[in-house]
Homo-oligomer: A and B are copies of this chain.
Amino acid sequence: MRKNSSTNYENEQVLHDFCDAAYTLSVLSGRWKLTILVKLMEQDLRFGEIKQMIPKITERVLALQLKNLEQDQLILKIQHKSDPKAPVYRLSLKGKSLKPLINSLAKWGEKYK
């Protein structure tokens, strides 16, 4: 869905290369990503559970954002092969490590918005 031949894409890459903060922002950007991450800080969740907790999100967008988060390795999708039940989404270490950062974002927002 992304064109790796667009000026926009190219600018994004260049930016990520020389600006670490821009990379961080990019993994967090997406309408419901923060919300999903915050919920997952508490406990592992299934697709339907996340959807219930965030009523406004559509299944399409939820699926997209989960895929993004997985690609950026912030979350893991855990399938029990022996017992192929519904998959569960879980924060990775990388994902968990965002907690203080998200708290900082929240504190700044609370103070200045």
Q: Give chain A's interface residues, CB within 8 Å of chain B.
A: 8, 11-12, 14-16, 19-25, 28-29, 31-32, 34-35, 38, 56, 94, 97-98, 100-113
Measured between beta carbons, the chain B residues less than 8 angstroms from A103 are 21
Decide if A34 touches B22 in the complex (CB within 8 Å).
yes
11 A–B contacts from the bound complex (CB under 8 Å): A20-B107, A21-B34, A21-B103, A22-B35, A23-B109, A24-B108, A24-B109, A24-B113, A25-B105, A97-B112, A100-B104
Q: How many copies does the complex hold?
A: 2
Q: Are A113 and B23 in contact (CB under 8 A)?
A: yes
Residue of B nearest to A10 (CB): B56
Beta-carbon contact of A35 and B19 below 8 Å: yes
